[in-house]
Amino acid sequence: MPATIRDVARASGVHISTVSRTFSAPHLVNPETRVRVLACAEDLGYRPNRAARALITGRTHNIGLIVADIANPFFPPLIKAAEGQARHRDYHVFVADTNEDPVAEEDLVHALAKQVDGVLLCSPRMSNSLIEQVSREVPVVVINRQVAGLPCVMMDVGQGARAAIEHLLGLGHRRIALLGGPRGSWTAREMRRAATAAARGGGAELTILGPNQPTETGGGALAEQVRRSGVTAVLAYNDLMAIGLIEGLDAIGARVPHDVSVVGVDDIALSRLTRPKLTTVATPTAAAGRTAVDMLLQLDSDAPRGARGRGAAAGDRRTTAQVMLQTELVVRDSTGPVPAPGRDGTVA
Amino acid sequence: MPATIRDVARASGVHISTVSRTFSAPHLVNPETRVRVLACAEDLGYRPNRAARALITGRTHNIGLIVADIANPFFPPLIKAAEGQARHRDYHVFVADTNEDPVAEEDLVHALAKQVDGVLLCSPRMSNSLIEQVSREVPVVVINRQVAGLPCVMMDVGQGARAAIEHLLGLGHRRIALLGGPRGSWTAREMRRAATAAARGGGAELTILGPNQPTETGGGALAEQVRRSGVTAVLAYNDLMAIGLIEGLDAIGARVPHDVSVVGVDDIALSRLTRPKLTTVATPTAAAGRTAVDMLLQLDSDAPRGARGRGAAAGDRRTTAQVMLQTELVVRDSTGPVPAPGRDGTVA
DNA sequence: CAGTCGACTGCAAAGGTTTGCAGCCGAAGA
DNA sequence: TCTTCGGCTGCAAACCTTTGCAGTCGACTG
């Protein structure tokens, strides 16, 4: 029932190849012919069959986007941005969710491999070596992780964590806790590294709690532990955990920021709506999504037709750019000066 | 580079058709041959090219899922459920986001039409007639809306709204506001209808505020108006608005539930984490996602090959089931007895 | 022993599109 | 007038898989 290129050709009295060219290389066909063909196509409601096109061009015009948990508000802006950018270039995005499971992650990328032109691996939980392995099967751009030899787009959470710690130091805090993220997270490692260094540099003591589930529940569950540890400030792996922690602290009678200062990471929409408004490290999620799509498509157009699957495997491709996006500390209401009465801060 | 069916055939010394059957109809090939072929396939890393398969079978094994706003926490559970159910049947899900824009919605379904076997239209904002029109182009299952002649899966928000109003009536409230949802939303209309009837039945006065943007911001913006209107209880279009409203009320000095009771709809994860915990109408989102996928696949397997695009158009298909899923009122902490001092309730 | 049947496998067409190559035609240059 | 060239179009192969049909072969039935 759906009109094919042949129907259009018949209707407009030209050969199918002319119809094909009308769409894929308009400059090659006579303007008059072109308008006639277009009119017929419009008339018959013709839309090129992407499967057939994919078969011959080797390009599906689809890209896969694998995220850890679509329900985490961190991801939707990234997904939207990626989708928008892709649509703009006549690509579609498959979004898939791994439920934070490294195994599901691997299965998914295999399943996707044959029906997309490339995969965006966002905040992967699997090992670097596994990532390298799958990248031999399908072009991959990694988001939120650094993998040698592969194109990556990262957000500078190290710098963000440093800024957060320095902000807290400036408020007089000297006993700080870091709520670690999930196991296998590159971001978690980076934050830890940077926060540790910054704390040491400022003469503060950093307690690391984790790894944890990066959710409200995960944050809330740590309230008791934070309270007991005697810290006056907390840097959480993400906003969700920070918000959960604030709720949890509130429930056991600790006030934020009066008793404890809390800093999150991500600057999700919600962080502007809770009370107190959350001080947080804003990550350029949308930009990351757009950049990743661009890099993938770039990669893809570089690769000679038929050479898909080789891709950047051997690292000989000099297009394996790695970009680091800047983060920014946004100071709101969940951080304040270290509580005065306690004899906790050593250096004043 | 990627191995084709021909490579496998050559390697295992059989004809390509035998290889094909090894995968798509294993019972038709000799067990010995089968293991040999499978071994070779495994060895070469062969994976069937879905585009080629799609070309001949007419089935892409993809389904599209169009949602209004992926950042609204209502959708992710539905998306996850749909994805899971689809994966289970060897289908993949395209998720696309319309930003609450009816026009983007239409474009999207057209763009998707040719590369999926069907589309799940979730909480559509476009008109019924437009939906019917696109359903002639590609099989469609509608979620959260009733369209005559098309398969639909709905959640009984009418019953939920009634239960919510009755709950409020039971607490003594007689002046109630309904925070309406976005224009074009079937759910919003249903709620309004049911809430109006229930309020009238209980001798209460129902003020309708809206339409509104179904977000926290949208809810927060209504705080003043709610305060001024003198109502003692509010039923919001969804949890996000309810939460925004509570924040907004709090900011202007009205306490929930002491001064105003608030009920949401959806029971998103967040509603359990705010304080006060939100009383809300739980909607079976995950079930809706699963059901919709099942219905679509069912529809799809009924349609004779090559007849795609006709589908349930003329309403002659008796498989156009419409299912209504039950909702349930979950009473938490955001609702309480009507404030005693005020002389507001007319009937006591 | 002839005939039948069933299990298995090969053959070839078909599906819709892209694209290198070749052909046509008219215009410009010699 | 004869070439040459460029703009445009047609031809046909190719992409990879599925599937109806037909063929082979051995075993079983009568």
| Residue B335 banded pLDDT, cuts 50, 70, 90 | very high
Per the structure, the residues numbered 34 to 63 in protein chain B that have their CB within 7 angstroms of any atom of strand C are 52, 55-56
| Residue B13 scores a pLDDT above 90 | yes
pLDDT at position B315 is 38
- For A8, A94, B105, the CA distances from A80, given in Å and listed in that order, are 35, 12, 14
Number of Cβ within a 10 Å radius of residue A348 = 7
Q: Could you tell me which of A75, A107, A31 has the C-alpha nearest to residue A289? A: A75
pLDDT at position A30 is 94
pLDDT single digits (tens) A23-74: 999 999 999 999 999 999 999 999 899 899 999 998 999 999 999 999 999 9
Query: Does B115 sit within 8 Å of A62, measured CB to CB?
Result: yes
- For A117, B10, B34, B48, B249, the CA distances from B17, given in Å and listed in that order, are 27, 12, 12, 13, 69
Q: Which nucleotide is at minimal CA–C1' distance from A32?
A: D8
Number of Cβ within a 10 Å radius of residue A218 = 22
Burial class (CB in 10 A: 0-12, 13-18, 19+), B225: middle
| A111, A244, A275 member nearest B250 (Cβ) | A275
Q: Which distant-in-sequence residues (6+ apart) come within 8 Å of B106 by Cβ?
A: B126, B130, B134
Query: Does B308 sit within 8 Å of A2, measured CB to CB?
Result: yes
Query: Does A269 sit within 8 Å of B216, measured CB to CB?
Result: yes
pLDDT at position A303 is 57
Which domains, and CATH codes, for chain B?
A: 5-48 (1.10.260.40), 57-155+285-324 (3.40.50.2300), 157-283 (3.40.50.2300)
Q: Which distant-in-sequence residues (6+ apart) come within 8 Å of B102 by Cβ?
A: B124, B125, B126, B127, B130, B184
B/e letters for B11-48, b = 16+ CB within 10 Å, e = fewer, are bbebeeebbbbbbeeeeebeeebbebbbebbeebebbb
pLDDT at position A304 is 46
Region B51-71: what's the mean pLDDT? 91
| Residue A273 banded pLDDT, cuts 50, 70, 90 | confident
Residues of B in contact with A114 (CB under 8 A): 2, 47-50
Which residue is closest to A220 within chain B, CA to CA? B273
pLDDT single digits (tens) B77-101: 999 999 999 988 889 888 888 888 8
Encoded amino acid at B21, one letter: R
DSSP string, A238-259: SHHHHHHHHHHHHHTT--TTTT
Instruction: Indicate yes or no: strand C within 7 A of the C-beta of A30.
Output: no
Q: At B220, is the secondary structure helix, strand, or coil?
A: helix
Residues of B in contact with A96 (CB under 8 A): 83, 92-93
Which residue is closest to B70 within chain A, CA to CA? A76
| Residue A318 scores a pLDDT above 90 | no
Query: Does A247 sit within 8 Å of B114, measured CB to CB?
Result: no
Query: Does A95 sit within 8 Å of B80, measured CB to CB?
Result: no
Which residue is closest to B113 within chain A, CA to CA? A47
pLDDT at position A229 is 96
Encoded amino acid at B242, one letter: A
pLDDT single digits (tens) B186-199: 999 999 999 999 99
Round and report the angstrom distance from CA (A304) to C1' (C13).
32
| A45, A83, A244 member nearest B273 (Cβ) | A244
- Between A19-23, A100-104, B212-216, the lowest mean confidence (pLDDT) is in A100-104
Q: Could you tell me which of A199, A145, A158 has the C-alpha nearest to residue A176? A: A199
Q: Which nucleotide is at minimal CA–C1' distance from B57?
A: D18
Round and report the angstrom distance from CA (A17) to C1' (D1).
36
pLDDT single digits (tens) A80-138: 999 999 988 889 888 888 888 888 898 888 888 878 999 999 999 999 999 999 998 89
pLDDT single digits (tens) A217-244: 999 999 999 999 999 999 999 999 999 9
pLDDT at position A162 is 98
Chain B: closest CA distance from residue A16 (Å)? 18
Round and report the angstrom distance from CA (A127) to C1' (D18).
38
Mean pLDDT taken over chain A: 90
pLDDT single digits (tens) B282-308: 999 999 999 999 999 988 776 544 433
Query: Does B73 sit within 8 Å of A73, measured CB to CB?
Result: yes
pLDDT at position B307 is 37
Cβ-based contacts under 8 A for chains A and B? 129
Residue at the smallest CA–C1' distance to nucleotide D19: B17
Residue with tokens 């540790």: A196
The length of chain B is: 348
pLDDT at position A94 is 85
| Residue B319 banded pLDDT, cuts 50, 70, 90 | low
B/e letters for A78-88, b = 16+ CB within 10 Å, e = fewer, are bbbbbbbbbbe
pLDDT at position B115 is 81
Residue at the smallest CA–C1' distance to nucleotide D14: A56
Round and report the angstrom distance from CA (A1) to C1' (D29).
49
| Residue A8 scores a pLDDT above 80 | yes
Cα–Cα dist B176/A53, whole Å: 58
Q: Which nucleotide is at minimal CA–C1' distance from B2?
A: D16
Interface test mutation site (partner A, options B67, B79, B95, max chain A beta carbons within 10 A) = B95
Residues of A in contact with B62 (CB under 8 A): 115
Cα–Cα dist A156/A76, whole Å: 20
pLDDT at position A343 is 45
pLDDT at position A236 is 98
Query: Does B50 sit within 8 Å of A70, measured CB to CB?
Result: no
pLDDT at position B206 is 98
Chain B: closest CA distance from residue A271 (Å)? 12
Residues of A in contact with B244 (CB under 8 A): 273
Query: Does B95 sit within 8 Å of A95, measured CB to CB?
Result: yes
The structure tokens listed for B297 are 């696949």
pLDDT at position A319 is 56
pLDDT at position A137 is 85
**Strands A328-330 and B62-67, sheet pairing:** unpaired
Cα–Cα dist B19/B6, whole Å: 8
pLDDT at position A1 is 66
| B73, B115, B216 member nearest A71 (Cβ) | B73
- Between A100-109, B22-31, B73-82, B276-285, the lowest mean confidence (pLDDT) is in A100-109
Q: Which nucleotide is at minimal CA–C1' distance from A53?
A: C17
pLDDT at position A220 is 95
Mean pLDDT taken over chain B: 90
